[in-house]
Amino acid sequence: MTDFTQTIEEIKKELRETPHHKGTEHYIGRLRARLARIDDKMYEASSKGGGGGGGYAVKKTGDASVVLVGPPSAGKSTLLNKFTNAESKVAAYAFTTTTVIPGMMLYKDAYIQIFDIPGLIEGASKGKGRGKEVLSVARNSDLLIVISDVQRVSYIEKMIEELEGAGIRINKERPNVLIDKKPTGGITIHSNLKQDLSDLTIKEIASEMGIKNADISIKEKVTIDSLIDSFSTSRVYTPAIFVVNKIDQGTFRNKDNYLQISAEKGTGLENLKQEIWNKLKLLRVYLVHPDEEPNFESPIIMRDGDTLSDVSQKLGTNFSEKKLAKIWGNAAHFPGQEVPTTIKVKDEMQVRFL
């Protein structure tokens, strides 16, 4: 992988030395975009195996994946062992986990894969403590559990900073910016909202991010950082749950409404399981065969926003062309209602494809 260290430091030095005001906004935007563009290149190189590989080799199975992120000795291994069939080594010293350990949790008919990764330390996003390899696992998960213990609650914010530094946007939506690239004509900006950023700043950022000719439609208020995120290829948007472990060993002021558990004692674990289900937005759809009465025997795990057509596609070629179905339970106005497969599924819906 190309060593960008010197270039990055030169850009950061320039940012520190440049006065921040409206007149320098476009220049600062360009510098920040240049840093983001380097991040994109580094991620692309690591994804292709440059520089010795992009991270731990992790095979994902099941209906969803969850990664436990936290400092060493925060109790991640204990939590994994409580939730799954994994046998993650547990000890009262740092860096017990030196590789990624998967386990499978069965909850409400869903198989949820949970990964215990090595403890994250400050500087991880810059590569300290094999941080880049660890963070590569977090980047590819469906949900993060950011966990620390009652004695180090402030580490949760530090972990968030490391995740953000690695291009992982926590509990955020991708900025509502549409980019329609074209062969010529430069950059045209469309927005029904009055933006705080000037058109010049937006064009400078877009150009630095490799967008030379495009219609850019901005459908929300943006900042320099959110605009850069909308253009970046290395940003991922991942939901997260924040957890304080070992509450049997102390107290803290819970101003951020973190979930409180004791993995060792089992306290709060059922609440955490339910929150995992909620954050993953999982739903159960039960398939009813032609010769059966409606039942709860054949669960199919889907996501909020999926349609019956998505269910049929998941079932395979014998169902993929189905256009109609009968439904019972949630969303049905009456038992056995005939509906098009374009309707969205609801939790515990029962369905027979016609």
In angstroms, rounded to a whole number, what is the distance separating the alpha carbons of residues 217 and 214? 10
Rounded mean pLDDT, 334-339: 96
Q: Which residues contact 19 (CB under 8 A, 6 or more apart)?
A: none
Q: Is the pLDDT score of 302 beyond 60?
A: yes
Q: Where in the chain do CATH 3.10.20.30 domains reside? A: 282-353
Token code pair at residue 142: 């469906």
Confidence (pLDDT) at 85: 75
In angstroms, rounded to a whole number, what is the distance separating the alpha carbons of residues 161 and 132? 14
Confidence at 327, pLDDT banded by 50, 70, 90: very high
What CATH topology corresponds to 64-172+236-280? Rossmann fold (3.40.50)
Centre a 10 Å sphere on the Cβ of residue 317 and count the other Cβ atoms it contains: 8
Confidence at 1, pLDDT banded by 50, 70, 90: very low
Three-state SS at 4: coil
Confidence (pLDDT) at 97: 54
Confidence (pLDDT) at 94: 52
Q: Where in the chain do CATH 3.40.50.300 domains reside? A: 64-172+236-280
Determine if residue 12 is left, alpha or beta; phi over 0 gives left, psi from -120 to 50 gives alpha, anything else beta. Answer: alpha
Helices 25-47 and 199-208 pack at an angle, to 10 degrees, of: 20
Strands 282-287, 299-303: pairing kind? antiparallel
Burial 139-178 (b: 16+ CB within 10 A, else e): bebbbbbbbbbbebbebbebbbebbeebbbbbeeeebebe
Q: What is the pLDDT of residues 132-156, one digit of tens each?
A: 777 888 888 999 999 999 999 999 9
Q: What is the pLDDT of residues 20-39, one digit of tens each?
A: 999 999 999 999 999 999 98
Centre a 10 Å sphere on the Cβ of residue 297 and count the other Cβ atoms it contains: 11
pTM as predicted: 0.88
Which of the following CATH numbers is that of domain 282-353: 2.40.37.10, 3.40.1010.20, 3.10.20.30, 3.30.70.80? 3.10.20.30
The single-letter code of the amino acid at 351 is: V
**How long a stretch of residues is the chain?**
354
Centre a 10 Å sphere on the Cβ of residue 52 and count the other Cβ atoms it contains: 8
Helix (H) and strand (E) counts for the chain? 9, 16
